[in-house]
Amino acid sequence: MVESNDVLEDEKDAVKLWEKLGVSNATLTFNCGGDCMGDTDWELFDKDGAVISSDELVNYFDTVIYDEVEFYVNSDGHYMGEFGTVEIELTDEDEDSTFMYSKISSSEWEESIHNDIEIELTENEANYIKSFVGDINGGEDEGANFNYKKDFIKTDEMVEIEGSIAEKVNKDTSEYQPEDCYDLRDMYHFESRCDFNNNSLMVEITNYDYVIKDE
Over the chain, what is the mean pLDDT?
Answer: 90
CA dihedral 147, 153, 155, 159 (to 10 degrees): 10
Contact 91, 99 (CB under 8 A): yes
Quick one: pLDDT at residue 97? Answer: 84
- Within 10 A of 188 (CB to CB), how many other CB atoms are there? 19
Instruction: Say how far apart CA 83 and CA 75 lie, in whole Å.
Output: 13
Contact 111, 70 (CB under 8 A): no
Contact 26, 88 (CB under 8 A): yes
- 215 pLDDT above the threshold of 70: no
- Within 10 A of 81 (CB to CB), how many other CB atoms are there? 22
Query: pLDDT band at residue 1, thresholds of 50, 70 and 90?
Result: very low
Per cent of the chain over pLDDT 70 is 94
Contact 85, 29 (CB under 8 A): yes
CA atoms 115, 116, 118, 123: torsion sign:
positive
Tell me the mean pLDDT in the region 68-76: 82
Instruction: Say how far apart CA 103 and CA 74 lie, in whole Å.
Output: 18
Tell me the mean pLDDT in the region 35-62: 92
Query: pLDDT band at residue 96, thresholds of 50, 70 and 90?
Result: confident
CA dihedral 53, 59, 63, 68 (to 10 degrees): -20
How do residues 112-170 score in pLDDT, each as one tens digit? 999 999 999 999 999 999 999 999 999 998 989 999 999 999 999 999 999 999 999 99
- 17 pLDDT above the threshold of 60: yes
Higher pLDDT, 85 or 79: 85
DSSP-derived letter for residue 215 is -
Which has the closest alpha carbon to 140: 186, 185, 178?
A: 186
Tell me the mean pLDDT in the region 46-74: 92
- 109 pLDDT above the threshold of 90: no
70 Ramachandran zone, left/alpha/beta (phi>0; psi -120 to 50): beta
Query: pLDDT band at residue 81, thresholds of 50, 70 and 90?
Result: confident
Higher pLDDT, 3 or 55: 55
How do residues 160-181 score in pLDDT, each as one tens digit? 999 999 999 999 999 999 988 8
